[in-house]
Amino acid sequence: MAKIFQFSIYSSDKAIYEGQVVSLIAPSESGYLGVLADHAPIAAKLKPGIITFKDITGKTASISVETQGYLEVLQNKATVLLG
């Protein structure tokens, strides 16, 4: 069984997604970042693009982001804050 981690996306006024995922791909300013469970701590500035993740059922979902934001990965939690 694949390892999982907590993933959340927040805009300034609401939670867009909160749940457990197996993998995450996000568009940073230096290129797309891939995140799996037990990833090293990282903070990155995100650019507009598509955030793709695979949930614990194996379903892949994508969210189109039209604003810049930030990604933080720390202790098996990935958080995206959108501007």
Per-residue pLDDT of 22-46, as tens digits, reads 999 999 999 999 999 999 999 999 9
The residue behind tokens 């970042």 is 33
Domain boundaries, the chain: 5-75
Q: Among 80, 78, 76, 9, which Cα is nearest to 37's?
A: 76
With a cut of 80, say whether residue 1 has pLDDT above it.
Answer: no
In this predicted structure, what is the pLDDT of residue 2? 85
Q: How far is CA 36 from CA 13, 53, 83, in A?
A: 27, 10, 24
Per-residue pLDDT of 50-61, as tens digits, reads 999 999 999 999
In this predicted structure, what is the pLDDT of residue 32? 96
Ramachandran region of residue 14, left (φ > 0), alpha (ψ -120 to 50) or beta? beta
Which one is the CATH code of 5-75: 3.10.129.10, 2.40.160.60, 2.60.15.10, 2.40.128.110? 2.60.15.10
In this predicted structure, what is the pLDDT of residue 30? 93
